[in-house]
Amino acid sequence: MKIATWNVNSLKVRQQHVIDWLELSHTDVLCLQELKLPDEKFPHEELAQKGYRSWCAGQKTYNGVGILVRDGLKVDEASIVRNIPGFEDPQQRVIAATVEGVRVISAYFPNGQAPGSDKFAYKLRWLDALEAWLADEMRTHAELALLGDYNIAPEDRDVHDPKAWEGQNLVSPEERAAFARLAGMGLVDSFRQFEQPEKMYTWWDYRMLAFRRNAGLRIDHILLSPSLSARCTSCEVDKTPRKWDQPSDHAPVIAQLG
DNA sequence: ATGGCCATTTCAAATGGA
């Protein structure tokens, strides 16, 4: 089973990219972030025509997450959860589904704007709530995958220019500590399970010719519970759709589970 | 050179992203 995550930065604009990439990558389960559309505008029918069932937690203009599952894979309808239970939040950032017994979570972590800001405080509160909920989820699901736009570059090697970025949003010690706590819970960064090319990132600013200069950050991740990590045979970033016309500023990350 | 792009809302310029 191939599982993947992609921040599409508007599903309306990127719908054809998603359809093309599903066919290209043979992805079975695709987690999407930044749909930027309300539930009633989610293209369930169009995706169904391409062989995927879909679930979403959308909202107008901002945020919004979804999960696409190839026909034939077993999804327990009762397993669908939207948002972090107990964490009141109008922002739609989390959706979970159990697919073939694997707990799949699509998450769009808050950006945080800048350390010290109100949005940064919200990011840290959100991270605390996620961590508490994940602890429960991991107790009930041995095979769990947390996929999404984490808006955290966990290490300096995930940053094109660590000196310039030192202490900034997305790389600050507090954010990295939160990421490290996820690892402390037993979640494994599947990308780092395998040998990878140098300077591999998942996001590049639209400005400054950043993609051409490979001036990026690795902020999109697939974290796996111990028993799922043991099943994982590869994890890579696919930069292909970042080169297409009118691309998302993020590239998808895909992992193969044996 | 400390900006530059892009999507959205709504039709002009502000907001948010990362």
Domain that residue A52 falls in: 2-257
Q: Decide: CB of A32 under 7 A of nucleic strand B.
A: no
pLDDT tens for chain A, residues 1 to 258: 999 999 999 999 999 999 999 999 999 999 999 999 999 999 999 999 999 999 999 999 999 999 999 999 999 999 999 999 999 999 999 999 999 999 999 999 999 999 999 999 999 999 999 999 999 999 999 999 999 999 999 999 999 999 999 999 999 999 999 999 999 999 999 999 999 999 999 999 999 999 999 999 999 999 999 999 999 999 999 999 999 999 999 999 999 999
A250 is in an annotated binding site: yes
- How many Å from the CA of A60 to C1' of B11? 19
CA of A37 to C1' of B11 (A): 20
Q: What is the pLDDT of residue A44?
A: 98
Q: Interior CA angle at A69 toward A55 and A101, to 5°?
A: 100
- Spell out the residues 6+ positions from residue A64 whose beta carbon is closer than 8 angstroms to its own: A11, A33, A34, A35, A36, A37, A56, A57, A58, A92, A108
For chain A, the 3-state helix, strand and coil shares in percent, each to the nearest 5, are: 30, 25, 40
Q: Please tell me the predicted confidence (pLDDT) of residue A25.
A: 98
If one counts the domains in chain A, the total is 1
Give the per-residue pLDDT at A146: 98
Give the CATH number, domain containing residue A78: 3.60.10.10
Please report which helix (H) or strand (E) contains residue A14, including its range.
helix A11-25
Name the residues in A107-126 having a C-beta closer than 7 Å to nucleic acid strand B. Answer: 110-111, 113-114, 119
Residue A30 pairs in a beta bridge with A4, A68
A13 touches strand B (CB under 7 A): yes
Q: Which A residues 135-164 have CB within 7 Å of strand B?
A: 149, 151
**What six digits make up the tokens of A235?**
């994890």
Whether the model clears a pTM of 0.85, i.e. scores above it, the answer is: yes
List the catalytic residues of A.
108, 149, 250
Q: Are A64 and A34 in contact (CB under 8 A)?
A: yes
Query: Residue A153's closest CA among A186, A97, A192?
Result: A192
Q: Which nucleotides of B are covered by protein (CB under 7 A)?
A: 3-9, 16-18
Q: Provide the sign of the torsion angle of the four alpha carbons A12, A52, A218, A214, taken in this order.
A: negative
**Nearest nucleotide, CA A217 to C1':** B18
pLDDT at A34: 98
Is the distance between the Cβ of A208 and the closest atom of strand B smaller than 7 Å?
yes
